[in-house]
Amino acid sequence: MLLTLPAASIALVVENRGGFETIANQLNRRGMKAHAPAAIVGKSGVKHEFAFALEPDSGKTKIVVDTELSVREVDEMKVLKFYVKVFDVGPEKAVLCVCPKLGERAATLAKEYGITVLEDDVPRRLIPMAEKVVNEFVGSGGNQ
């Protein structure tokens, strides 16, 4: 994917990665087990990468977050690509951060799959949006 993005976008990908690391560090300081990026082995035995994940010491993965940055609307294949990883890992919550936004069919698919979608024209704004969703999830007892 990196090869298809212009240099400015590569910088944004790196910046977003740093943003997720900050969220993970904050949660880890509160005694949780968060990773950014995260590599999780699914039921199939295949290892999947996510931009961020919150895992308990044992048992079901709590939340996974991924990003899709594009110069145009993100299509349904990207949603499907995220979903099959989510299906294999089986987290309680799945969040897809999208820049600029999902196409109509992609949005329908994400809704069908129960994926929480965060959209913004500016990639760096997605980090605080994701942080808010993660904190709300943790605050609602999602980390028990």
Partner 1 sequence: MKEGKKKIFPVHYAPGKKLFHIVVTISDAPGSYSSILDLLRTKVNLIGTSTYTRNDGTAMFSGFSEALTPRLTGKELEKLIMSSKAAISVKVYEGEDGLLVDTFHTGFVVGDEVYVLMRRDGLVHVFDRVSKMLGSGGDALLFEEGMAMSMRNAEMMIRNVGAERVRAQMGVLNRFLAAQGWGEIEAKEGPKKGGFTVRIDDCFECSADGSSRRGCNFMRGYLAGGARATFGKDYESKETKCRLRGADSCEFQLTPS
Does position 85 interact with partner 1 (CB under 8 A)? The reply is yes
Q: How far apart are CA 121 and CA 113, in angstroms?
A: 23
Per-residue contact string for residues 87-106; x = within reach of partner 1 by CB under 8 A: xx------------------
Which residue lies nearer to partner 1 by CB, 46 or 71?
46
Minimum separation from the CB atom of position 115 to partner 1 (A): 13
Name the DSSP letter for residue 102: B
Minimum separation from the CB atom of position 110 to partner 1 (A): 15
Q: Which residue among 31, 45, 59, 141 contacts partner 1 (CB under 8 A)?
A: 45
Taking only Cα atoms into account, the Rg of the chain, rounded to an integer number of angstroms, comes to: 14
Helices (H) and strands (E) in the chain, counts: 4, 7
Minimum separation from the CB atom of position 51 to partner 1 (A): 14
Structure tokens at 34: 């968060």
3-11, 47-55, 96-104, 126-134 -> range binding partner 1 (CB under 8 A) = 47-55
Task: Give alpha helix (H) positions in 37-141.
Answer: 76-89, 104-112, 126-137
Q: How many CB atoms lie within 10 A of CB 54?
A: 27
Per-residue contact string for residues 23-42; x = within reach of partner 1 by CB under 8 A: -------------------x
Q: Which residues pair with 39 in a beta bridge?
A: 49
Minimum separation from the CB atom of position 60 to partner 1 (A): 16
Does position 46 interact with partner 1 (CB under 8 A)? The reply is yes
User: Cβ(55)–Cβ(67) under 8 Å?
Assistant: no
